[in-house]
């Protein structure tokens, strides 16, 4: 089996990017080991502190953020970082050529119930003409990403990665090495599976209401087939399922917080997941356009997300166009 570094070299990934990915993985392996020890290290539960999003942080949100931040800040390749758990960008080496954005722990509501969580990351070029490291330097659309991926801390610890040449999956072995276990994966174009938090139904706008209501009618409805539903409440787990067997995932705008475009964050959830999905032949939109074409205004900007099997995402777009 091929090791991560060996594979990336053969895939013609530049040496500095390989170094950065390996560094990120050293941090994620540390997060994985904390998660595996769980209650034995006293790391479950709430940190009794709110992040910039107004969400109560879990202890592990803070621990994972600190591990990744500390690891990346030691690299001469990294100009700076933007994290879900940091109000502003954090500078590293001011000559660094990469910017990294990350969601240190995605699905944190699942930590205490021992369900899969993950780390999502996006690698952007540091602007050549900029000095220092400012929040504005990160405000690049997702189509500028050099690489994106996630580490899924599930029954196996997996790295799912794209450097713009398809999507590959690596499994962490007991020896601390990631090995290639699935190559150039493709999302099936059609599906009979959808994922949405149904408890928000009454807050959705009409096109989303209509779309889901048509799916629920199954073979008797306009879509003419019976659908299954899943909701893990960890975006990493939903995207991984979709990359494995297809499906459509929606976290649309809703009227609970009407001024926000959605719940999920563009820079470290929407963009990296969109790059992966597109690289695997799927589609990812905000119901108006491709998420990777959204020009960000803020590092913690929210975005409405519809991603997965192309036929379903196209259908959701049609419901919006015809509305
Ligand atoms: P995070 O734990 O990083 O804040 O992200 C959680 C996100 C995402 O992973 C998931 O799809 C969604 O929130 C679940 O939201 P609900 O609890 O509203 O279903
Ligand atoms: Mn998240
Ligand atoms: Mn998070």
**What is the tens place of the pLDDT at every residue in 122-137?**
999 999 988 889 999 9
d(CA 268, CA 64): 15
Predicted local confidence at residue 123, as pLDDT: 99
pTM of structure: 0.98
Atom 16 of ligand 1: nearest residue by CA position: 233
**What is the tens place of the pLDDT at every residue in 210-237?**
999 999 999 999 999 999 999 999 999 9
Of the residues 68, 200, 239, 251, which should be mutated to test ligand 1's pocket, given the most ligand atoms within 8 Å of the CB?
Answer: 251
Residue 140 Cβ contacting ligand 1 at under 6 Å:
no
**What is the tens place of the pLDDT at every residue in 5-18?**
999 999 999 999 99
d(CA 182, CA 152): 14
CATH topology of domain 193-321: D-Maltodextrin-Binding Protein; domain 2 (3.40.190)
d(CA 275, CA 163): 9
Predicted local confidence at residue 54, as pLDDT: 83
Contact 141, 129 (CB under 8 A): no
Between the CA of 115 and the centroid of ligand 3 the distance, in Å, is 14
Contact 57, 51 (CB under 8 A): yes
Predicted local confidence at residue 77, as pLDDT: 98
Between the CA of 209 and the centroid of ligand 2 the distance, in Å, is 24
Residue 108 Cβ contacting ligand 1 at under 6 Å:
yes
Q: Give residues whose Cβ lies within 5 Å of ion ligand 2.
A: 103, 106
Please report which helix (H) or strand (E) contains residue 6, including its range: helix 4-10
**What is the tens place of the pLDDT at every residue in 100-121?**
999 999 999 999 999 999 999 9
The ranges assigned to domains in the chain are 4-182, 193-321
Residues of the chain with pLDDT under 50: none
Instruction: Tell me the CATH class for 4-182.
Output: alpha beta
């Amino acid at each position: 089996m091929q090791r991560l570094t060996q594979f990336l070299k053969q895939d013609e990934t530049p040496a500095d990017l390989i170094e950065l990915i390996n560094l990120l993985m050293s941090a994620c392996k540390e997060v994985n080991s904390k998660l595996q020890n769980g209650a034995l290290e006293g790391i479950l539960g709430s940190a009794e502190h709110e992040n910039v999003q107004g969400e109560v942080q879990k202890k592990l949100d803070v621990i994972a953020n600190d591990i990744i931040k500390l690891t990346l800040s030691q690299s001469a390749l990294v100009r700076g970082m933007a994290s879900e758990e940091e109000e502003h960008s954090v500078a590293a080496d001011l000559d660094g050529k990469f910017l990294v954005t990350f969601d240190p722990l995605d699905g944190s509501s699942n930590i205490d119930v021992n369900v899969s969580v993950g780390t999502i990351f996006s690698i952007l070029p540091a602007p050549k003409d900029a000095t220092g490291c400012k929040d504005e330097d990160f405000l690049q659309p997702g189509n500028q990403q050099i690489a994106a991926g996630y580490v899924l801390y599930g029954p196996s610890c997996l790295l799912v990665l794209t450097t713009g040449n398809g999507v590959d999956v690596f499994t962490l072995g007991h020896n601390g090495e990631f090995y290639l276990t699935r190559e150039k994966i493709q999302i099936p174009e059609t599906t009979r599976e959808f994922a949405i938090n149904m408890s928000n139904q009454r807050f959705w706008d009409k096109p989303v209401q209509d779309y889901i209501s048509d799916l629920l009618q199954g073979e008797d409805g306009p879509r003419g087939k019976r659908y299954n539903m899943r909701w893990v409440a960890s975006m990493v787990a939903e995207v991984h399922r979709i990359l494995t067997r297809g499906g459509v995932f929606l976290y649309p705008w809703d009227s609970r917080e009407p001024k926000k475009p959605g719940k999920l964050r563009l820079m470290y959830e929407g963009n990296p997941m969109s790059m992966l999905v597109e690289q695997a032949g799927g589609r990812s939109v905000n119901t108006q356009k491709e998420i990777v074409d959204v020009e960000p205004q803020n590092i913690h900007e929210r975005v409405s997300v519809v991603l997965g099997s192309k036929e379903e995402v196209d259908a959701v777009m049609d419901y919006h166009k015809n509305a």
